[in-house]
């Protein structure tokens, strides 16, 4: 089986509050991500700081909190490395990661990524807007290279790590599904699109 990881450790500076807890269609964004992953994953964990709304929401739904290693540089790659270490400890081989702030992802995203990763170390979504590096499935064989990339206290681009891993790209035709909620206006737009769906 595969484990799921919700990336919810961002600082949400432009949003004006913690995005993971922002409500869309009556539910926090973190819950939308959990609903997307749960049918396909043995366990879904949450990458977030211990004292955060995301951590509280994770506890509410019984999702384990996956914390960055001490002194890791800030950024999602540190969360992914912690997630791969957790996946390895759980005895699984694959980790599917999604950000908490892209609630309109295509319904077939998860199954297509899982199908595409067969025979590869990673698979990542691509939309007409470009690569979507936080929507990817990773094999635990990438843990050591990922830790090495973080070892100097810097946070390399996830795109570069995916390229180095030879990740297979999975094309999705509609950029709208990858709307990233960075502002209150983005959240209102996501709500509008949900109503029209």
| Digit-coded pLDDT (tens) for 62-111 | 999 999 877 778 889 999 999 999 999 999 999 999 999 999 999 999 99
What's the pLDDT tens digit per position in 6-15? Answer: 999 866 656 7
| Total tally of structural domains belonging to the chain | 1
Give the model's pLDDT for residue 41: 97
User: pTM score, two decimals?
Assistant: 0.94
pLDDT at 15: 75
Per-residue pLDDT tens over the stretch 136-150: 999 999 999 999 888
Query: What DSSP string describes the chain?
Result: -EEEEEE-----TTTTS-GGG-EETTEEHHHHHHHHHGGG-S-EEEE--SSSHHHHHHHHHTPPEEPPPTTPPSSHHHHHHHHHHHHHHTT-SEEEEEETT-TT--TTHHHHHHHHTTTSSEEEEEETTEEEEEEEEEEGGGHHHHHHHHTTS----HHHHHHHTTPEEEE-S-GGGG----SHHHHHHHHHHHHH-
Q: What is the CATH number of the domain that holds 85?
A: 3.90.550.10
**Residue span of the structural domain in which 39 resides:** 2-196
Give the per-residue pLDDT at 191: 93
């Amino acid at each position: 089986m595969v484990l799921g990881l919700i990336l919810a450790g961002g600082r949400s500076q432009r949003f004006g509050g913690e995005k993971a807890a922002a409500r869309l269609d009556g539910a926090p964004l973190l819950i939308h991500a959990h609903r997307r992953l749960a049918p396909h994953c043995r366990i879904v964990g949450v990458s977030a700081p211990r004292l955060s709304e995301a951590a509280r929401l994770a506890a509410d739904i019984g999702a384990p909190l996956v914390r960055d290693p001490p002194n890791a540089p800030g950024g999602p790659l540190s969360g992914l490395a912690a997630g791969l270490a957790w996946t390895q400890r759980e005895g699984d081989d694959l980790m599917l990661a999604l950000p908490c702030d892209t609630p309109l992802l295509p319904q077939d995203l998860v199954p297509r990524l899982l199908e595409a990763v067969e025979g590869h170390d990673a698979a990542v979504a691509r939309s007409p807007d470009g690569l979507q590096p936080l929507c990817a499935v990773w094999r635990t064989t990438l843990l050591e290279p990922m830790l090495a990339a973080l070892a100097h206290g810097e946070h390399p681009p996830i795109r570069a790590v995916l390229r180095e891993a030879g990740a297979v790209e999975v094309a999705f035709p509609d950029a709208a599904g990858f709307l990233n909620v960075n502002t209150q206006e983005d959240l209102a737009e996501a709500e509008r699109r949900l109503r029209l769906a």
